[in-house]
Structure 1
Amino acid sequence: MADETSTDLNPAALPNGEDTGPAIGLISQYVKDLSFENPNAPAVYQWASAPQVDVQFNIGADNVGENLFEVSLKIDITSKSDEGTQFVVDVKYAGLFGVRNVPDDQLQPFFLAEAPRILFPFARRVVADVVRDGGFAPLLLEPIDFHALFLQQAQAMQAEQTGEVTVGQA
């Protein structure tokens, strides 16, 4: 049996050692913006009614340099009860990703599905800590299937472009 060279095993490998395979790596992650409001303190700590919590997400990706992209996960949370607003949290948690040899058509799925999946657990911890530090029980956000959300959005955009109308079932 003859010895095989690395180029025989991996046709993408070049003899001079140049790496041409696609790669994306997380360089850093950080809180970009954080706001916590407790507009009705100290009265809020005496309220008896159960709060209604509204959580909104927004994902963004920006090219910030050659082969560098910042993906941000913006989370806006409002907790209200019958008596008024308990608290408001706005957090923008971001990650800096290095990208090499990735086709442009593969960037959007990564930035809108995979990158938020990587960042979310850390943003979730920031939210829980800031709500706890505000004097409330920690707010643990439910896990989110960013891949499924991306697919739903892509299907909706495709249906809109082809003129299809989606009708909900009663």
Structure 2
Amino acid sequence: MADDTTPDFTPETLTNGEDNSPAIGLISQYVKDLSFENPNAPAVYQWQSAPQMDVQFNIGAEGVGENLFEVTLKIDVTAKNDEGTGFVVELKYAGLFGVRNIPEDQLQPFFLAEAPRILFPFARRVVADAVRDGGFPPFLLEPIDFHGLFQQQLQAQQGDGQTMAAPAGEA
């Protein structure tokens, strides 16, 4: 048992035992919305041409409670052949993050670069499974450098004299 003269060398811990060190934690991750469309079935399964894949990403973050933020990856994949649209996948995959004692200027880099990096492998699997379950070979999304995209967006906005406002973005 420590006596009252022993100095406390952990400045993050208050005398009442409350921890005030900075922390961000993933509370939950989930499919928020998923749509798979196969508009030309069953003819699509006889098409011979290779599809052209169009992949679009969007990243959004919003406060959903005190010290709670939802980060959403929106992924749209469209496969088009010479004959028409093969399939369309629309996914909103989200993560709920708890935040404590993080400076405001560090929230946006986390929400637009690090949080998507954490969520992406799981969203990638959902897309691959949906495409496979639709009767097509699984479509694996290429890895994305969310940190690099965030830095490019930041540099482009600084070059235009803009500042990044709310924790929301597009990659």
Q: Same fold (TM over 0.5)?
A: yes
Write the distance in 1 (CA, Å) between the matches of 2:65 and 2:13: 26
Relative to structure 1, the CA distance from residue 18 to residue 130 in structure 2 (aligned partners, 3 Å threshold; closer, same or farther) is same
What is the identity, as a one-letter code, of the residue corresponding to 2:102?
V
| Residues 154-165 of structure 1 mapped to structure 2, 5 A cutoff | 154-161=154-161
Please list every run of 5 or more consecutive structure 1 residues that lacks an aligned counterpart in the other structure. 163-170
- The count of aligned residue pairs is 157
TM-score, scaled relative to structure 1: 0.89
1:46 and 2:16 equivalent? no
- Residue aligning to 1:166: none
Cα deviation for residue 6 of structure 1 reads: 7.6
Task: Give the Cα separation in 1 of the matches to 2:26 and 2:8.
Answer: 28
Percent of pairs identical after alignment? 79
What is the CA deviation profile of residues 16-63 of structure 1, one whole-angstrom value per residue up to 9, with x for unaligned ones?
322111101111100000000001100000000011001000000010
Match in the other structure for 1:91: 91
What is the alpha-carbon root mean square deviation over aligned residues?
1.3
* Greater relative CO, 1 or 2 (CA 8 Å, sep 6+): 2
Q: Deviations over 1:88-128 (max 9, x none)?
A: 00000000111111111110000000000010000000000
Q: Which runs of 5+ in 2 are unaligned?
A: 1-5, 163-171
- The CA deviation at 1:13 is 2.8
- C-alpha separation between the residues in 1 aligned to 2:47 and 2:161? 49
Where do 4+ consecutive residues of structure 1 move more than 6 Å?
none
User: 1:150 maps to which residue?
Assistant: 150
Q: Please tell me the residue identity of whatever aligns with 2:8.
A: T
CA distance in 1, matches of 2:56, 2:88: 12
